Amino acid sequence: MVAKKTIRDIDWIGKRALVRVDFNVPLENGQITDDTRIRAALPTIRYLLEHGAAVVLMSHLGRPKNKVVESMRLAPTVARLAELLPEAKAVKGTQATTGPSVEAASRDLRPGEVLVIENTRFDAREEANDESMARELARLGDVYVNDAFGSAHRAHASTEGVARFLPAVAGFLMEAELAALQGALENPARPFVTIIGGAKISDKIGVIENLLGKVDALLIGGGMANTFLLAQGYDMGDSLVERDSVATAKAMLELAAGRGVKLLLPTDVVIADAFSPDANRQVVPVNAIPAGWRALDIGPETVSAYAEVIAGAQTVIWNGPMGVFEMAPFAEGTRAIAQAMAACSGMTVIGGGDSVAAVEQMGLAEKIRHISTGGGASLELLEGKELPGVAALNDR
Ligand code: ADP
Ligand code: MG
């Protein structure tokens, strides 16, 4: 891992920090329903203010498709930030993303003040990573800070392009994400165990392939386990399977065997006679799935086997639920794995939108060492890809 400069490496006195944050919060009728992402950016913003900087923030919100959409303005986030940051001398917003009025507002900003520029995705040049927009953004600050890990897998003007025109460093959230995820991947305390689940094998082939070169054990659950079981010759009934991926699953099983990686698949499953919380259900061994039934969760025998491996691990990374956790009758496997992670004394990391939602819903998030804020970005790191928003930052 190439270590990146961080906000600690800069003398901020009298400087304007241009900070890419992730204020892509859920809104309902103009009200923020969850401000976790704004809170996650506070340590970086506070550090900058305490060290003599003026702070210019930029973020996208929603998918406005390259034009101004009134309901996607950042104004609600500016108001919430002002409440969360009483120590700031001022917290202001702008009507535009770039241009003379925004430049003037950023020039007039005093140390201790915060300016939030309007939604970067209102400008068609953002997602095109257009150089003219990157240059205009660069005029709004003296040093660029990227604290938007969740957007770092996208090469946009505010996440990648702008870093070419200013000194560019990581914020605390970005630093913590990279330390946890890259640290675990590149220099794990062993045994290093990963748990991969979720609906489809095709979404995560790259992840499995990359991890097979690094881990001591790989535990597979969720819908994707069905395709592996099919590849081993089991009859999966009406379970979600990807017939196109059977050959890939076979190749992964061989790769694991060749590398001496312990690859565990479910030995029992919770099956249902319909995709519904009210369906009839039963626990069966994987060789006894009747026609018309489908596997929607891992079974108790599988849970014990996986929990034992997790208990002995020094590093655990988990991505993807073990079953259809959105329906209570099929959430037990996911809950048990979350509990095993919570009880593990090693480094525990969870990445992935649905897995993180499951663990939060179950009230176990505090017991996990690192919960990633970036689903897509964490998956790309697990695939071994370099994130453009990280690559663009200055090396130490
Ligand atoms: P993440 O967002 O954590 O990366 P994914 O998006 O890959 O996870 O997968 C989450 C989805 O997988 C959930 O909606 C869950 O219902 C579904 N899923 C898990 N197990 C099964 C299964 N056995 N059959 C069908 N869908 C499943
Ligand atoms: Mg998902």
Q: Say what the pTM is.
A: 0.90
* Domain 7-174 and domain 181-382 have a common topology: yes
70 pLDDT tier (thresholds 50, 70, 90): very high
pLDDT digits (tens, 9 = 90+) for 217-270: 999 999 999 999 999 999 999 999 999 999 999 999 999 999 999 999 999 999
Whether residue 191 has pLDDT greater than 70: yes
Å from CA of 299 to ligand 1 middle: 16
Tokens of 341: 């992670």
Ligand 1 binding pocket includes 268 (Cβ within 6 Å): no
Task: Please write the tens of the pLDDT for every residue from 323-332.
Answer: 999 999 999 9
Residue 127, token pair as written in the block: 């997602």
Distance from the CA of 353 to the center of ligand 2, in angstroms?
A: 5
| 3-class secondary structure, 318 | strand
Closest ligand to Cα 319: 1
Dist. CA 394–CA 217, nearest whole Å = 35
What number does the ligand 1 atom closest to the CA of 353 have? 2
Question: Where are the chain's structural domains?
Answer: 7-174, 181-382
Sequential DSSP letters for 231-270? HTT---TTS---GGGHHHHHHHHHHHHHHT-EEE--SEEE
Atom 7 (ligand 1) nearest CA: 198
For the Cβ of 382 lying below 6 angstroms from any atom of ligand 1, the answer is no
Instruction: Compute, in angstroms, the gap from residue 319 CA to the centroid of ligand 1.
Output: 10
Name the CATH architecture for the domain at 7-174: 3-Layer(aba) Sandwich (3.40)
Tell me, using a 6 A CB cutoff, whether residue 58 lines ligand 1: no
Output the furthest CA–CA distance in the chain (Å, rounded).
Answer: 71
13 within 8 A of 51, measured Cβ to Cβ: yes
CATH number for domain 181-382, candidates 3.40.50.700, 3.40.50.12780, 3.40.50.1260, 3.40.50.1700:
3.40.50.1260
